[in-house]
Chain A
Amino acid sequence: MSDPVQALLDKQAIAELSYRYSRACDRLDRDLLASVYWPDGTDDHGVFVGSAPDYVDWVINLLSGWIAVHHDNTNILIELDGDTAFGEVHWTGYYTYAVNGQPHDQLAAGRYLDRYERRDGEWRIRHRTCVSDWSRLEPAVDWRTDPARGRLAGKRKPDDLLYGIRDLGIAAR
């Protein structure tokens, strides 16, 4: 009988890989994104197929041209097999970018199909395949340019308020 507490810890650590992956894409954090893959990892995003380091360069370059990016991850199903694990992770993406010079919202959803490996006690992605299930693209209003809204609008690293989270509420006391 394997240790059920260790299985919970493994699943938590693996789930947090996807959360860090999404944070890295949304905040344009190249180092964080690289840290969720093994250096010899691979990624298949359809329009990109190749090594994990090359994927990191490709997607950071792509997303840096977009106005805003937000990914939610749910329905995380992980199958543990020793130092290997397999996972299906749902994603919903909310993207705002210009099409013919006009801001558009793309809502899309799909799943990551992952192979994870544990090396020296650390779980990372060995391979990720990104499957798309649906998508919509519609004209948008970019409300972020409103000064009253901009202060609490999501931004990229290091401008997002996430990077002050350790001081959150401390000054107010």
Chain B
Amino acid sequence: MTGIDPRLAALADKQEIAEVLYRYARGCDRADEAALRSCFHPDSRHDHGMFTGKSWDFVDRAIAICRPLKACKHMISNVMVTLDGDSAVSECHFWAHHRRINEDSGAEEDFFTGGRYLDRFERRNGEWKIAARIGIADFERFDPPSDRNMWKMPAGKIGGKHPADPIYGLEAAIREGK
């Protein structure tokens, strides 16, 4: 990074960290295990919901939860990063929707939750990844589905899982220079 304006280097670090947080959201929404795993260092610790343990074990659980969902969306905002060399702490907000099956009634329901991820990031071999995460819940509610026409839309116009979702075709096309 020699020769780069240190102000620009700090902005780049914040951007790289924010994109890890966005990749986490995509990993959940698309049930993309490789994307999700790539957000965490192998020794990262995790404390979120009813899970306490290694982040890579949490990834297995998150994929098992998200893959069967009819719909799933995580939004990340309010990314506040404090940089300290090759280490950083970050608070970001999340808002999530899961269209799931109620275990008791067997009926579909919408689960809405908002909260925050408190993360320690570490840069190793030039790459920022999460080294420890706590997930905090600020808001949640369950409601019966109330959509009208969404599921009548054609395939490809409704969010899908990895690798069927359109983003993977677009990314492949860019990589192949099309």
Contacts and interface: CB of A to CB of B under 8 A. Distances in A.
Contact of B116 (A141, A154, A170, A172): A154
A72 B75 contact: yes
A164 to B, nearest CB: 8
A8 B11 contact: yes
A114 interface: no
Interface string B107-143: 0000000111011100000000001111111111101
B136 A168 contact: no
Interface stretch (B42-50, B149-157, B168-176): B42-50
Contacts, number: 103
A73 B89 CA distance: 19
A169 B138 contact: no
A173 B131 CA distance: 10
A9 B8 CA distance: 8
A152 B134 CA distance: 8
Contact of A70 (B7, B114, B135): B114
Contacts of B133: 168-169
Interface in A23-53: 23, 26
Specify which of B49, B95, B141 lies most central, judged by the most chain A CB atoms within 10 Å of its CB.
B141
| B interface residue count range (under 10 / 10 to 19 / 20 to 34 / 35 or more) | 35 or more
Given A5-B7, A70-B114, A73-B77, A168 B138 contact: no
B102 interface: no
State the main secondary structure of chain B at its contact with A.
Answer: strand
A153 B136 contact: yes
B139 A169 contact: no
B35 to A, nearest CB: 22
B138 A9 contact: no
Given A9-B11, A96-B139, A143-B140, A168 B80 contact: no
Contacts of A135: none
State the main secondary structure of chain A at its contact with B.
Answer: mixed
Contact of B80 (A19, A143, A170): A19
B14 interface: yes
Nearest to B89: A165
Nearest to A172: B45
Interface string A125-163: 000000000000010110100001100111000001110
Contacts of B95: 72, 92
A68 interface: yes
Given A165-B89, A168-B120, A154 B75 contact: no
A165 B45 contact: no
A91 B13 CA distance: 25
27 contacts: A12-B11, A18-B78, A19-B80, A20-B80, A26-B138, A68-B139, A70-B93, A70-B139, A72-B114, A73-B77, A74-B77, A138-B141, A140-B141, A143-B140, A152-B47, A152-B48, A153-B138, A154-B138, A161-B118, A162-B116, A162-B118, A166-B89, A168-B118, A168-B132, A169-B45, A169-B120, A172-B45
